[in-house]
Amino acid sequence: MMETNNQISTEKYAADISSIGDAQVRINSFVHKTPVLTSESLNAMSRRKLFFKCECFQKGGAFKFRGACNAIFSLDGDQAAKGVVTHSSGNHAAALSLAAKLRGIPAYVVIPKNAPKCKIENVKRYGGQIIWSEPTVQSRESVATKVLQETGAALIHPYNDGRIISGQGTISLEILEQAPQIDTIIVPISGGGLISGVALAAKSINPSIRVLAAEPRGANDAAQSKAAGEIVRLPETNTIADGLRAFLGSLTWPIVRDFVDDVIVVEDKEILEAMKLCYEILKVAIEPSGAIGLAAVLCDSFQKNPRWKDCSNIAIILSGGNVDLGVLWDSFGR
């Protein structure tokens, strides 16, 4: 059952419109207000009006800076002085490093050895201290715990954290100002931090807005979780969208369960095709995870679903642009 507007509160969920509004005030002077781009060619292809919210232009190259900034500037002085630690596929790590640098505190970042090179370089560029782990969730979390114990730093989880969710939710506040006509928002889903914030803010302001998740077939835990009515963790994931391999968390799951209208599952080849359209038509450099919203709006399971027939003005969050040019090229399979 969908919650009604006045039931959205932090008593039940990890964030609400008030914590998202506070986040906006807190991070406003640090974040870019990213532009919304439109393209008549892509409108024609999708038979809708599309509004691309370009979070790939955000500082650090992804929306993650919003949540990281909100979390870091929420810390009290004593806590902050000991620094922060996280495990991340990369964009959150870079974002946290940058936000920590702005506050003048250390950021310890646990990164799997197989993370994309450009994401690792972003962490280094922003002054984060890298600690390597094996490329499994278990290894990442145990290494992070060790660092935590040694430094006394505050753990800033990439998505299962109310401060992070609130920071990401500021995107909705901007979209609704920049493109007030939208009736639908399509959001990449991984751990669920982004879509949780976006859905809470959008539905609080206008409960009739549809919020749709876009997820790769090879990491479709959100679709499976929605179908099962409980969190499903997959034994393994297999997708080109390296930023979308995480599973829903205890704080994001209730929000996804109650406020995400549907999960659109797309194939990797559809993601690659959408990436190519981003480069060639929008002129936006995007990573695979960032292009999945465009893949979703173009795919048959969206286009042919009568439930979404009246989605006319659709915001698509282009979530990040951190891609190795070499990997990109291989993806296009010349």
Q: Active-site residue numbers?
A: 64, 89
**CB 318, min distance to a second copy, A:** 9
What does the alpha-carbon distance between residue 15 and residue 252 come to, in Å, rounded to a whole number? 10
Interaction of residue 37 with a second copy, rule CB under 8 A: yes
Among 21, 22, 32, 43, binds a second copy (CB under 8 A): 32
Secondary structure letter of residue 103 according to DSSP: H
Q: Which residues make Cβ contacts (< 8 Å) with residue 277, sequence separation at least 6?
A: 42, 45, 291, 294
Among 7, 38, 305, 312, binds a second copy (CB under 8 A): 38
Binding mask 108-147 for a second copy (x = CB under 8 A): ----------x------x----------------------
Helix (H) or strand (E) holding 37: strand 36-37
Q: Which residues make Cβ contacts (< 8 Å) with residue 127, sequence separation at least 6?
A: 97, 100, 101, 107
**CB 57, min distance to a second copy, A:** 6
**CB 27, min distance to a second copy, A:** 15
Which of these ranges, 227-235, 259-267, 273-281, 291-299, lies near a second copy under the rule CB under 8 A? 273-281
Binding mask 57-86 for a second copy (x = CB under 8 A): x-x-x-------------------------
What does the alpha-carbon distance between residue 161 and residue 251 come to, in Å, rounded to a whole number? 7
Which of these ranges, 32-40, 158-166, 211-219, 245-253, lies near a second copy under the rule CB under 8 A? 32-40
Which of these ranges, 29-37, 75-83, 186-194, 239-247, lies near a second copy under the rule CB under 8 A? 29-37
**CB 285, min distance to a second copy, A:** 4
Q: Which residues make Cβ contacts (< 8 Å) with residue 34, sequence separation at least 6?
A: 53, 54, 55, 57, 58, 174
> What are the Cα distances from residue 118, in Å, to 156, 326, 330?
22, 10, 15
Q: Are 317 and 198 in contact (CB under 8 A)?
A: yes
Q: Which is nearer to a second copy, 57 or 159 (CB)?
A: 57
Among 280, 300, 304, 310, binds a second copy (CB under 8 A): 280
Alpha-carbon dihedral 51, 56, 59, 60, rounded to 10 degrees: 160
Residue type at position 165: I
CB contact burial 59-74 (16+ within 10 A = b; e otherwise)? bbbbbbbbbbbbbbbb
Which of these ranges, 131-139, 151-159, 234-242, 325-333, lies near a second copy under the rule CB under 8 A? 325-333
**CB 45, min distance to a second copy, A:** 11
Interaction of residue 56 with a second copy, rule CB under 8 A: yes
**CB 303, min distance to a second copy, A:** 21
SS3 assignment, position 227: helix
Number of residues lying near a second copy (CB under 8 A): 29
Among 284, 292, 294, 295, binds a second copy (CB under 8 A): 284
Helix (H) or strand (E) holding 266: strand 262-266
Token pair, residue 259, equals 């406020």
Which of these ranges, 74-82, 151-159, 262-270, 318-326, lies near a second copy under the rule CB under 8 A? 318-326
> What are the Cα distances from residue 108, in Å, to 7, 116, 151, 155, 299?
37, 18, 9, 9, 40
Q: Are 299 and 259 in contact (CB under 8 A)?
A: no
Q: Which chain residues interact with a second copy by CB under 8 A? A: 32, 35, 37-38, 40-41, 54, 56-57, 59, 61, 118, 125, 276, 278-286, 321, 325-326, 329, 332, 334
